[in-house]
Structure formats: structure tokens, C-alpha cells
Structure 1
Amino acid sequence: MAAKKIVRPIFDNPFLNITVNPDGTVKRGPEVRNPPNPDPNSTSSVLSKDVTLDPNKNTWLRLYIPKMAAPRPPTAKLPLIFYYHGGGFVFCNADSSIFDAFCKGLVESLGAIIISLDYRLAPEHRLPAAYEDAVDGFFWVKNTKDKWITEYADLNNCFLCGTSAGGNLAYHAGLRFAAMAGDLEPLKVRGMILHQPYFSGTKRTGSEQKLANDPLLPLYAIDQMFDLSLPEGVDHDHEYCNPMANGAFKNGDEMRRLGWRVLVTGCFDDPSVDAGLECAKMLESKGVKTLKVLADGYHAMEVFDASMSGPLHHAIKDFIFSCDNI
């Protein structure tokens, strides 16, 4: 069988022309945003609904559940995945059409529950705001009486997953979870899935140099979005940007002690691939069991083209199953 031809998407790429307003906000163009679908009589195989996380921060969560599980609690409760969308910490939302479709596809393939976080965006809310929102999400699940969680979710079988900037967020949210794991019981995280994570540093990686003019995520866009999202006055070797920076692995000993495993995925034609692999290598050197899965393709290709997502879904499903049998 011939290999599937990889065609890059044609769309209005917000990363290429970022406009910063005089008040420090960013101009964001219109995007397609999908409403939730909680109707069990719909034709969709996945149901979704939105819940408020923190009204003062204007943050919220989109919950996804397989429709076949909804009429009655399943015999065995379902794995719970905390998902974090991409967009360089500057763009997109949990209900952006591409990420909504991506989450639905994951739920359908994995038979899991997904909670997608709509976190605060930079530069209006610089890091660690998004990481703090993720922690709020953990406590919401710990304390909620929502039936989709209490009846269907296996809180002893949780995973943190994110795409691009969401992969960065999953990593740092994981470090925070590990540091306060006792306070978050009965939640138990078994692993992290860093899907083409968005990291960088002052020293250029080989893939950043090779793909500096990438049409989707050029090097200047990587730099500009980190400039907009990092705390003011720091460089790109700050721990939020560079996981190899001094002190960036704090709380990592807890991650190792808790027995977490980490899946890092990457694509060969992605400027961020080498930074993701360096993070994986660092985790391995610290004693964290890490699996790397590489493929031909471009940054976040499974988000832009659902037909490319099959291998990723299989890798995540195998990873979750392996963690569940530790």
C-alpha cells in the first residue's frame, strides 16, 4: 500500500502575522468555534458539554464522553484525560473547531472521557496563568458532583495530554500535580502525553535551524509567541520555555516516585521536534520511563487533518493500556 501523501493545510495562519495592540493585547481574528453537543439523541458518537471553572478568571471546561456510555454507567469506569489545546498560548480555545474535532476523535478511538481546559491566553495573562488554570481544573474534578465524572470517570486512571503549547502546559501542569498529589486524591495521574510539545531555548536546535522558514510555524513565530507568553523580562532559557533550564525539573523526583510514564510524539518536518526529543531524553536521564513516537509530517498535523490521526490514536491507546497494567 502506498504511503499517504502528506499535504499541509491552507488556512489563515495567525502565527505569521501577530498584531500587538497599543494596550498590550493581541489582535485575534475570527475563527470557527463549535458549540457543545450534550444531546443523547443526536447522531454523534460523542457527547460534550461546557462547565464553568472559575467565573472570575473566565475559565471553563469542555467535557467529552462516549455516547454509548451515557445511558448508564459502564461496568468499568473510563480513563480520564485532561487535554490542553495548542495555539502558542496566544491563540485558540477549547471550542476551536480543530481542537473540538480532535478531542471528539480521541474519545471515539480511545473510549475515554476528556476534559478540555479553556485557559487564559497571553499576553493578557502571561505564564504561569495557564498552568494555574490547569491546577484549578484538577481541583474541580476532585470536588465536582457532576454525574459525567462521578458515574463514568475512573479517577484512579488519569492522564495529562496536550498538543503543541498544550504539550508544554501538560508538562508543567504535571510538575505541579506531582508536587501536590496528596492534596488531589482520589485523582491519580498515571502518565503524560506530550503531543509535539512546544519548547525552545536560546540555543537553536537542529530542527529549528533546518526548518526556520517553516510555512506553519517559522522560527520567528515560535520566538514571538514565547516573548508574548513568558513572564516579562526573562529570556527563552526560562523554565517555562526550556525544560532543560536550571530548576526546570523541580518536583520531577515526585513524578518519578509516583511511577508516571511519558509519551512524547513528534514529526520530522516540525521545527519543535528536536526540543521535544531533548525533553524526552532529559526525562529518561532522571529515571522517568519515556516512550518516543516519531512520524513523517508537520507540526500538529493530526489536529489539522483528522485523516492523519490514526497512528497517533493507536499510540495513545497502547500507552494508556500499558500504564493501566503497571
Structure 2
Amino acid sequence: MSGQPPPPPITDPFEYLQIVLNPDGTLTRNFNRFTCVPPNPNPNADDVDHPPQPPPTPVISKDVPINPLNNTWARIFLPRQALLDSSSLPLIVFFHGGGFILLSADMDVFHNYCSNLAHTIPAVVVSVDYRLAPEHRLPAAYDECVEALHWIKTSQDEWLRNYADFSQCFLMGSSAGGNIAYHVGLRAAGLVRELEPLKIKGLVLHQPFFGGVQRSGSELRLINDPVLPPIVSDVMWDLSLPKGVDRDHEYCNPTAHGGSKELEKLKSLGWKVLINGCDGDPLVDRQMELMKLMEGKGVQVVGNFRDGGFHGEEDFDPSKAHAMHMVLKDFIISANSID
């Protein structure tokens, strides 16, 4: 025991999230809460002839536009080694978290996470930046991330064309991004021919963000969680769901009303699903309920749940992220062994 008292419960979620809801329905956000970092697009940008400069980074990156009208874009991460041996690598399409209302793909927390992910697997990672709610409520994020898949399949970007194996594609997201990966996956299951030559092999839902009207056991147990208490989740859902619906809407609660019929398509396509979570996350019961629903529909699901932890821990602890990436590496190998 450290002897330190627990932090006081969060009573003002708007103050905690550092947001202000304006009369016109838009949000004022604190853009200084996280640092945005530029990509490192030039393979030789940090190759210098004299010390004490750092060695070349193992992963290079660049930003590319998807839909300029909506200002959507992606950051592509490529292991530097692929340039040397012309590797054909699995393609991971990544969706960032932030409760649908915060953050962007160029923030250091996601840049570092995706860079380490690309290096560990190794894989080509496309991190999609989508528009945020409440200015663009759901299903806007789903629509734009499906659009990103269509953009990838037709892109003439040399990194994608030369190094990404389109027959080994995985949709992955953390928190709200995990929710996006799930719903985009359901849509993509009905667009198999339209998305060719992209061939999705599986979904990776990392601490996916789901909810419901009735509190789950873990939400009640962690009602005063210092990271993501239900009072904060409620505000995120209020600002991101379509107006006039509650948290049992399918976007928020995929287990309501017996679940989506699209899950049967995942089964027929042979896609595998990895759900990653921990019992220190108030959302863990929601994640386990989704896993049971998928298992009941005959979907191949791998659950990776550990004791302790907290929501978003892997975003800030590189050792925890590396352990999760090793689980993902095994998952990708197993998914690619099934045709």
C-alpha cells in the first residue's frame, strides 16, 4: 500500500475531457492536451554522416489525403527494412481512439503506437484520420473509414503498391477505434467483391468502446474509475450517437436485440476476431459480452483478457503495447493459415 489516498471521483466530465459544448452544438477542444508530431517520410532524412545524431528510425511514415472535401487523411507507416528487401507485408488499417469526439492520427500517442506496431509485426500500417462528433455524429466515422478502404484498394501510393500484401488485410482499432473496426468490419463483410483486391482476414478490437442503457457489472464496480468512469463514457456517447437514440442503439450496444445479422457473414467468410481487454477497464464486461455473442454466431474469436490494467494502458506503456503486439503477431499468423 502506498498510503496515498485515491483520487477524488470525476464529477464534471466536460472539465475532465477539457471540452466545452457550444450553443451551436460544436465542441471547443484543448488541442494542447496531446502533442501532434510530423511524419518521417524520407528514408534518408535521419541518415547523417556525423555523430552525435541518432541512428535511422526503424519505421518511416508519411501523410496522404483520402477525401480533401472532408479533410480526411491517413498516416502510412512502413518498416524501413522493407525498402531493403522488398518485403510484402500484412496490411493493418488502424482507427484511433478518443470517444469519437477527441484526438487525431497525428498525435504522438498514436504515432508512436502505430510505429511500434509496424516494426513489431512487421506490417504496413495505415492509420486513418476521420472527422469527429458532435460536429459529425455517427455513422460519419464509419462512413469515412469504409471510404478509406475503397481509397486503399485503388491508391497508387508506392508504399501500398510495393510493400503491402492486400490479401492479408486486418482492421484494427483502440477504444472508439475498436468500435469503428467492428462496425466497419460488418459493412466490409457485405462489400467483399467491391473491395477487391483487398482481402480482409480479421478484426482486431483493442479495448473496444461499447456501452448500453443498463450499467454492466464492471461499470458498477469501477463507477469511480480515474481513467474512463461511466460518467465520462456517457458524455462521449451523448455527443456521438445520432440525435434521439439511447445507448442501446446498435452503434453503442452491439449485443442489444440479439446482435447484427451481419455477424453471420463474418462466420461464412472465415474472418477471425481478436478482442483485447483487461479487468481494470470499466468496459471489460461489454467486451466479453460481445465475444460471447460472436461465439454464439459461430465467429472465430480469440479473447485476450488480463488482470489489472486500465483503459488505454497500452497507449502509454510501451512494454504493455509490445506484449499486445506479440499476441497480435501470433493472431495474424493464425488468421493467414486459414483460407
TM-score normalized with structure 1 length: 0.93
Letter of the 1:268 partner, please give it.
D
Letter of the 1:65 partner, please give it.
L
Letter of the 1:325 partner, please give it.
S
Which residue pairs with 2:193 in the alignment? Answer: 182
Superposition misfits of 4+ residues, deviation over 3 angstroms: 13-18
SS at match of 2:215: coil
Measure the CA separation in 2 of the matches of 1:262 and 1:14. 36
Which residue pairs with 2:203 in the alignment? Answer: 192
Measure the CA separation in 2 of the matches of 1:14 and 1:283. 37
Letter of the 1:36 partner, please give it.
P
Which residue pairs with 1:26 in the alignment? Answer: 27
Point out the structure with max Rg over C-alpha: 2
SS at match of 1:114: strand
Letter of the 1:170 partner, please give it.
A
Percentage of pairs with the same residue = 49
Measure the CA separation in 2 of the matches of 1:311 and 1:268. 17
Letter of the 2:68 partner, please give it.
P
- Aligned pairs (5 A) from 1:1-326: 15-29=16-30, 30=32, 31-41=34-44, 42=46, 43-71=56-84, 73-74=86-87, 77-246=88-257, 248-295=259-306, 296-326=308-338
Measure the CA separation in 1 of the matches of 2:192 and 2:246. 30
Residue 15 (structure 1) shift: 4.9
Letter of the 2:231 partner, please give it.
Y
Q: Contact 1:240–1:248 (CA<8 Å) still a contact in 2?
A: no
Letter of the 1:193 partner, please give it.
V
SS at match of 1:181: coil
Measure the CA separation in 2 of the matches of 1:324 and 1:209. 39
Residue 300 (structure 1) shift: 1.2
Residue 14 (structure 1) shift: 7.1
Residues 201-227 of structure 1: CA distance to partner in whole angstroms, max 9, x if unpaired? Answer: 011111100111111111111000000
SS at match of 1:309: helix
Q: Contact 1:102–1:303 (CA<8 Å) still a contact in 2?
A: yes
Residue 253 (structure 1) shift: 1.7
SS at match of 1:287: coil
SS at match of 1:125: coil
Residue 102 (structure 1) shift: 0.5
Unaligned runs of 5+ in 1: 1-7
Residue 73 (structure 1) shift: 2.0
Q: Contact 2:18–2:29 (CA<8 Å) still a contact in 1?
A: no
Which residue pairs with 1:4 in the alignment? Answer: none
Residues 149-201 of structure 1: CA distance to partner in whole angstroms, max 9, x if unpaired? Answer: 11111100000100000000000000010011111111111110100000000
Q: Contact 1:50–1:62 (CA<8 Å) still a contact in 2?
A: yes
Which residue pairs with 2:4 in the alignment? Answer: none
